[in-house]
Structure 1
Amino acid sequence: MSEFLTIGEPMAVFASEDVDKSLVEAHNFGKYAAGAELNVAIGVSRLGHTAAYLSSVGDDPFGKFLIQAMQVENVDATYVTKSNEYWTGFYLKERVNVGDPSTHYFRKNSAAANYDIRNLEKLNLDDVKIAHLSGIFAALSENDLEVLKALGKTLQSAGKLITFDPNLRPALWDTQSRMIEVTNELAKLATIVVPGVNEGEILVGTDDPASIADFYLNQSRHTQIVIVKIGPKGAFIKEKGKPGRTIQGFKVDKVVDTVGAGDGFAVGLITGLLEKQTLDNAVKRGCAVGALAVMSPGDNDGYPTPDELHKFMSQSV
């Protein structure tokens, strides 16, 4: 089994190559592998660590494409099942020069949304050091919410370090109040909670990083660290029983695509921890991978190799 494990919905994304044209007007698209948790698995693997991914895809061209993409990126797809009954989700994404791109999803009742909880019985967690959970998977269906809870409790019982990214997707939830309730409940499973400051404002009712951190540290005995992503400014860290501190981010020359930046942060953080770096250095690495991510068009194209990451961080000192 791999040293890193995550679960999510893999998706094929068709990203427009026509800058500043709407999805209606665009004609040229590139096809990429995407999905927040798959992005993290790919990034972890690209930085030289073993990564395993849990999910289900349809027995269709998109599903086969995604499994091939995992193989190319050396992501262990042993626990990715194929469904003859359900299909593989995909989405369309605009290409913009400034701001967040418009996206349009086709994922309702996908294979991943119908993941069979019995598959968890086959897991071998012996080599897993860190597992990453995301609020997106829970938002796909009530079925997947139960799967995520079960996996989280299994990981807790096995003494594994769990990172949790809220990854809010309001369009996937029936109501905002339900999204807030479930996401905050899932955060209790995690050793490290990693919200964005804007997510914190929705989930906790404040954009003050220290207050966001205190909320999650106080609500669960399992949560030991909260890292609040504050965009280009970096990240705010607070450990249970210690004062908070801010780690500065990196400047980028040009933002090409912001999708995947938060997942990139998780990649840097997780790999830093796997390499037994200090928490501050791991967070700094997270800021670096996030910065590299926004300078590339694909969801995970900007995630670096070890040499690329070292070069970027060295030049940005």
Structure 2
Amino acid sequence: MNQNTPDILTFGEAMTLFAADAPGDLAEVERFSRSCAGADTNVAIGLSRLGFKVGWLSRVGEDCFGRYLRASLEREGLDCRHLITDAEHATGLVFKERAVGGADPRVEYRRHNSAASKLSPADAQDVDFSTLRHLHATGIPPALSASCRELSQFLLEKARQHGTSVSFDPNLRPTLWASESEMRDTLNGLAAQANWVLPGLSEGQLLTGQTSAHDIAGFYLDQGADAVVIKLGPEGSYYRGTLTGQDEAFTVAGVPVETVVDTVGAGDGFAVGFVSAMLDGLDPHQALKRANLIGAEQVQVPGDMEGLPDRERLDQLEAATAA
């Protein structure tokens, strides 16, 4: 394997985030803090902090926000060789209220016709799938445009053809879809290409029509998934799959958190935990413990990805919870 190429690939839309410095209506907030936003980039950054070589495939505008994102992602260690600068379309922006009392903060997007929405399979022609160990995908890119949908399908199909493991987090954004049925059919089709499917309980219920975690998992296992991990919020997570060579199903309790600051990014932290654990060779039970742990870390900070640990911090957290 070429040591200069990434062994994990992620893709989607990175946006410049302006987070309110004080609670209240965004119309009345005077000061904001700037950072990166995007579920796909959160996972990419989280895996990079843990020492993995992570590639990022996307588009940004030829503007100050695009330059900021490229520099920020490269500082986080991401390989941005597949990050294209688009001279005709702007970088997406997101504005977020300051969360209060653990409630989900209100956000407003400026992403219509963004550079990332113009992604297509042509942007992935130079990806060397033979060097990739893992592909992480979410349901957000296919919601952005028809060409993004084609890119998602192309990448998952290519990864599977090359024996690359694939994780898929539905990460539902219903307002971006023309209809619920289109969202459901498209995302279930993509999930059928994944080894590991990572829905939240309510997401799984909406996508499959099933009620229980057991039956939601069964839906995706019947489509060909090797494992389904369902996020249960503070209660922890549920696993059903065949990763150990036999059928298993169990729940791992969540990590107690004294104060929830901001729930944004918790699911992305969970994905970082599970994917990193699987790539580290841990068993499913250990993987869910790590996923729950990183998700719990993320809800204790105000930013979208500030709670994602580096490897030293993760080792400390795992040692503390094992004691």
Bin of the TM-score, shorter chain as denominator length? over 0.9
2:232 to 230, 245, 251: 230
Q: Does 1:302 align with 2:304?
A: no
Find the residue that maps to 1:77 and give its secondary structure. strand
C-alpha distance in structure 1 between counterparts of 2:116 and 2:137, whole Å: 15
Task: Say if 2:99 and 2:302, in contact at 8 Å, map to a contact too.
Answer: no
Indicate the SS of the match to 1:244. Answer: strand
* C-alpha deviation, 1:262, in angstroms: 0.5
What does the per-residue CA deviation read over 1:154-206, in whole Å, with 9 as the maximum and x for residues that have no partner? 11100110000000001111112211111111111101100000111211223
Q: Which runs of 5+ in 1 are unaligned?
A: none
Write the distance in 1 (CA, Å) between the matches of 2:259 and 2:161: 44
Aligned residues with identical type, % of pairs: 37
The equivalent residue for 2:64 is 61
| Superposed counterparts of 1:1-317, under 5 Å | 1-19=5-23, 21-97=24-100, 98-218=102-222, 220-221=223-224, 223-240=225-242, 242-317=247-322
**Which shifted more, 107-116 or 304-313?**
304-313
Unaligned 5+ segments in structure 2 are none
Deviations 1:12-40 (A, max 9, x none): 11011102x12122222111111111110
Aligned length: 314
1:223-274 deviation digits (Å, cap 9, x = unpaired): 1110001111111100146141111220111111111111111111111112
- Equivalent-residue separation in structure 2 for 1:119 and 1:174 (angstroms): 24
Aligned with 1:314: secondary structure? helix
Q: CA deviation at 1:207?
A: 3.8
TM-score w.r.t. length of structure 2: 0.94
How far apart are the structure 2 equivalents of 1:253 and 1:232? Answer: 11
Q: Note the alpha carbon deviations across 1:95-145, whole angstroms, 9 max, x for none.
A: 122211101011011111101421221011233211101100000001100
Identify which range, 110-119 or 73-82, moves more after superposition: 110-119
CA contact (8 A) 2:21 2:31 kept: yes
Q: CA offset at residue 298 of structure 1?
A: 1.1
Q: Distance in 1 between matches of 2:305 and 2:64?
A: 21
CA distance, structure 2, for counterparts of residue 207 and residue 18 of structure 1: 39
Give the CA deviation at 1:79: 0.5
Q: CA RMSD in A?
A: 1.2
Distance in 1, matches of 2:120 and 2:85, equals: 11
Q: Which residue type is aligned with residue 103 of structure 1?
A: V
The 1:301/1:122 distance shift into structure 2, 3 A limit, reads same
- Give the whole-Å Cα distance in 1 for the aligned partners of 2:99 and 2:266: 15
- Cα distance in 2, alignment partners of residues 59 and 49 from structure 1: 28
Counterpart amino acid of 2:283?
Answer: T
